[in-house]
């Protein structure tokens, strides 16, 4: 089964918000592939969570196997097949498991597209219509190819794997009954109800 791998923080705004230096080495984490859901599905908050946070990211789907590659090799060997806008959800609390990332429905994702984002691509997240996050990809401390290369130094990326490439500052809390929307220039716009 394909895997979902995330990375962060590395957006400059997120590092600043967390009080981290620009040379901070981002962490890599795994998520369940069953957490990836299309727009017609609802997000479920686990009972054991004290609260749940959401943030917007660019997701990429791996096309060709990638291991110990540089960013230049990621491009040369056509490792990335398609792109999407997605949410990365995290349950917080003493009783949650897997860093709060492993729950079903915790990676809501738009359909994947061949249109690659650029440094001018703007990511946005809205909660009940209110803008919560907004940043262009020029805020990334590592570009998308560098994110994939960084992860490939740790584990093999295989066709069908999904890489979440990090989020800007402004992760926000979601609650039962909320509506959240994630959008990215040329990547689409998806909306979800929180059960």
pLDDT over threshold 90, residue 193: yes
What torsion do the CA atoms of 91, 96, 100, 103 make, to the nearest 10 degrees? -90
CA 74 centroid distance within chain: 19
Question: 125 falls in which pLDDT band (50, 70, 90)?
Answer: very high
What DSSP assignment string belongs to 33-51?
Answer: GGGEE-TTSPB---TT-SE
pLDDT over threshold 90, residue 12: yes
At residue 183, φ and ψ (nearest 5 deg) are: -145, 155
Contacts of residue 14, defined as CB under 8 A and 6 or more positions apart, other chains included, come to 8, 166, 167, 168, 169
At residue 12, φ and ψ (nearest 5 deg) are: -60, -40
When the pLDDT of each residue in the chain is averaged and rounded to a whole number, the result is: 96
What pLDDT is stored for residue 1 in this prediction? 84
Q: What angle do CA 141, 184, 117 make, to 5 degrees?
A: 60
pLDDT digits (tens, 9 = 90+) for 39-54: 989 999 999 999 999 9
Q: Mean per-residue pLDDT for 127-139?
A: 98
pLDDT over threshold 90, residue 98: no
Question: 34 falls in which pLDDT band (50, 70, 90)?
Answer: very high
Question: How much of the chain, in percent, has pLDDT values that exceed 70?
Answer: 100
The answer to whether 194 touches 180, Cβ cutoff 8 Å, is yes
pLDDT digits (tens, 9 = 90+) for 137-192: 999 999 999 999 999 999 999 999 999 999 999 999 999 999 999 999 989 999 99
Q: Mean per-residue pLDDT for 59-84?
A: 98
The DSSP bridge pattern shows strands 188-193 and 179-184 to be antiparallel
Q: What angle do CA 2, 8, 14 make, to 5 degrees?
A: 145
The answer to whether 105 touches 42, Cβ cutoff 8 Å, is yes
Cα atoms found within 13 Å of the Cα of residue 43, Cβ hemisphere only:
28
Q: b/e for 130-156, b at 16 or more Cβ within 10 A?
A: eebbbbebebbbbbbbbbbbbbbeeee
pLDDT over threshold 90, residue 97: no
């Amino acid at each position: 089964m394909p895997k979902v791998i995330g990375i962060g923080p590395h957006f400059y705004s997120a590092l600043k918000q967390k009080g981290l230096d620009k040379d901070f080495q981002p962490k890599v984490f795994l998520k369940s592939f069953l957490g990836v859901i299309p727009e017609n599905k609802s997000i479920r908050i686990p009972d054991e969570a004290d609260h749940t946070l959401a943030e917007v990211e660019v997701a990429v789907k791996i096309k060709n196997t990638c291991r110990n590659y540089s960013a230049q090799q990621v491009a040369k060997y056509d490792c990335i097949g398609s792109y999407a806008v997605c949410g990365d959800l995290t349950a917080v609390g003493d009783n949650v498991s897997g860093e709060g990332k492993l729950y079903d429905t915790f990676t809501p994702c738009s359909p994947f597209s061949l249109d690659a984002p650029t440094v001018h691509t703007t990511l946005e997240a809205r909660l009940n219509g209110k803008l919560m996050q907004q940043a262009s990809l020029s805020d990334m401390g590592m570009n998308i190819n560098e994110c994939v290369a960084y992860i490939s130094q740790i584990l093999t990326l295989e066709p069908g794997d999904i890489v979440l490439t990090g989020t800007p500052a402004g992760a926000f809390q979601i609650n039962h009954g909320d509506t959240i929307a994630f959008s990215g220039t040329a990547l689409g716009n998806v909306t979800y109800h929180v059960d």
